[in-house]
Amino acid sequence: MAAPFDMNDDSVVVIIGTGAGGGVLANELAQKGISVVALEAGGRYLPEDYINDEWDSFGQLAWTDTRTTSGEWRVSEDFPNLPAWIVKAVGGTSTHWAGASLRFQDHEWKARTTYGEVEGANLLDWPIDGTEMAPFYDRAEKKLGVTRTNDIPGLPGSNNYKVFEAGAKKIGYKEVHTGRMAINSVERDGRMACQQTGFCFQGCKWGAKWSAAYTDIPAGEATGNLEVRTKAHAARILHDDAGRVTGVEYFDENGDLQMQKARVVCVAGNSFESPRLLLNSSSSMFPDGLANSSGQVGRNYMRHTTGSVYGIFEQPVHMYRGTTMAGIIQDEAKHDPSRGFVGGYELETLSLGLPFMAAFLDPGSWGRSFTTALDSYENMAGMWIVGEDMPQEANRVTLSDAEDGFGLKVANVNFTDHPNDTAMRNHAYQQGMAIYDAMGATRTMPTPPYPSTHNLGTNRMSERPEDGVVNANGRAHDVPNLYVSDGSQFTTGAAENPTLTIVALAIRQAEHIAGELNRGNL
């Protein structure tokens, strides 16, 4: 049967969310002839719709539905209802991401074994490893057209990159380049090459950056096996007396409650909405939330140890010209406990426009210390820290007392840095400032983390059912036909930007689900 599908069609796989996880999974299943209904809470926006304006784009794409926050992280003080900067639209946050596409290092799949016991951390090894993932990374890199893989050339270096690269080399770093990027350096896959426009975070108007919105989603729809329902806000996953999920209730664009029957349900709503949905789906059989016999749903929230360093120089940089993430230093990505922390971090260039620089450089700050920094905006270079943070049980998504417009409990996000996170960030701040000082910076600014874009771990993968929510295939330990397909299944966060791994896991999960369907196990 071809799309669109009937609400009572219980042969379909329902995927909730259409980002790097859900969008890729939807296409991969559709290509195999499997019927898929994808429920997307946001609308559909394509390159012609994207806006080269930070606040206008934020209004168009960002998930701004209320969330609440708690814990000691500064985001909770400065942006109490905006814990994350992620997207509510077809393609999800793959419209917003900067394109950095890095594989995990082999040891990062085995964080508990490699790092040992870390007090206060809930570390666990992934039930999969680099060898298992290698072929799926290969396929993910081909799908995304990652530069510096498959003979695709690297992107050229921008002004911001040139400051970063020269400073890095001056202080002795060796692994410095313009990144492995899912941004076309040459025309590929029917999409043109990067025009160095900036505004990668606002959706690429050229389509040069990979996003599920204009690659996997339309490719899946073209098979006739995928129906994407936009402005469809999932409310609850239903199950039968045997404990198998049977369908998904959602509010459609008119606010009417609908129910799509399902053979399999895959949750891919990002690390706040996915656990929120499972918790909101509690029942007499699953009183603590669906798939939550371990009590781990919502726990171990990770956001990467981030922060930024901006440097001001005597002469112009114009950092905003060109790709947002224009280059990377990987020398600190290794695990080297002699630095005073376990795990490692990447340094990647970053640029914000003036409006967002004003909002995020030092939120709440005022007076000349702040404004003289902005006065030198033109002479500023910037970089972002991306490091592995420790999973902690108390860093978690729970149901808030607040409700959304549909009367559903919203997510509360509680987060406090682990001492390892703080030690890593401080080390990275020092290194970042040293890079810019080596280039003659007249001022450097260690800038606090922004609302999170890398949201991970709240339905984590585990070998044993008591340690996590899903197994090595992303299948719920408690519910045989329920899957988690986004970054919330991450057992640990590693030092790398997560999208490539989310895509690789989605490709792998599609193989698994198709196999199980063929075998009659789903």
Partner 1 sequence: MTETMSLKALTRRQLLTRGAAAGASFVIGTGFVAGRDAAWATEMDALKPETMATLIQMARDIYPHDKVGDQYYAAAVKGYDVPQEVDFVQAGIDMLNDTASQKGFGTYLDAGWEDDRVAILREIEGTDFFQRIRGGLVTGLYNQKEVWPIFGYEGESYSKGGYLYRGFDDISWI
d(CA 265, CA 258): 16
Which string of DSSP letters, residue by residue, matches 324-356? SS--EE-TT-S--GGGSSSS-EEEEE----HHH
At 99, phi and psi to the nearest 5? 105, 0
Asked if 309 and 383 count as a contact pair (C-beta separation under 8 A), the reply is: yes
d(CA 414, CA 75): 10
Q: Which is nearer to partner 1, 83 or 498 (CB)?
A: 83
Q: Which is nearer to partner 1, 193 or 259 (CB)?
A: 193
Q: Which is nearer to partner 1, 245 or 380 (CB)?
A: 380
Q: Which is nearer to partner 1, 120 or 355 (CB)?
A: 355
How far is the first Cα of the chain from the last one, in angstroms, to the nearest whole number?
18
CB of 380 to partner 1, least distance (A): 9
CB of 309 to partner 1, least distance (A): 18
Looking at the DSSP bridge assignments, the partners of residue 445 are 310
Q: Which is nearer to partner 1, 353 or 387 (CB)?
A: 353
Residue 261's alpha-carbon distances to 66, 200, 312, 488, in angstroms, are: 28, 37, 57, 24
Q: What is the CA radius of gyration of the chain?
A: 22
CB of 173 to partner 1, least distance (A): 16
Q: Which is nearer to partner 1, 345 or 360 (CB)?
A: 360
CB of 425 to partner 1, least distance (A): 24
Which string of DSSP letters, residue by residue, matches 78-105? HSTT--B--B-BTTGGGGT---B--PPP
Residue 465 DSSP symbol: G
Burial 508-518 (b: 16+ CB within 10 A, else e): bbbbbbbebbe
CB of 203 to partner 1, least distance (A): 10
Paired tokens of 335: 């695990």
Residues 6+ apart with CB under 8 A from 430: none
CB of 13 to partner 1, least distance (A): 37
Q: Which is nearer to partner 1, 159 or 453 (CB)?
A: 159
Which residues contribute to the site for partner 1 (CB under 8 A)?
52-53, 55, 156-159, 162-163, 166, 194-199, 205-206, 313-318, 320-322, 353-355, 357-359, 364, 366-368, 370-371, 374-375, 377-378, 439
CB of 367 to partner 1, least distance (A): 6
Q: Which is nearer to partner 1, 35 or 444 (CB)?
A: 444
> Apex CA 91: angle with CA 514 and CA 216, to 5°?
45
Q: Which is nearer to partner 1, 267 or 381 (CB)?
A: 381
Q: Which is nearer to partner 1, 55 or 110 (CB)?
A: 55
Q: Which is nearer to partner 1, 198 or 275 (CB)?
A: 198
Asked if 121 and 457 count as a contact pair (C-beta separation under 8 A), the reply is: no
CB of 253 to partner 1, least distance (A): 29
Q: Give the residue from 108, 144, 158, 105 showing the smallest Cα distance to 351.
A: 158
CB of 179 to partner 1, least distance (A): 15
Q: Is the backbone peptide bond immediately before 446 cis, with ω within 30 degrees of 0? A: no
d(CA 142, CA 126): 24
CB of 42 to partner 1, least distance (A): 22
d(CA 266, CA 276): 14
CB of 329 to partner 1, least distance (A): 16
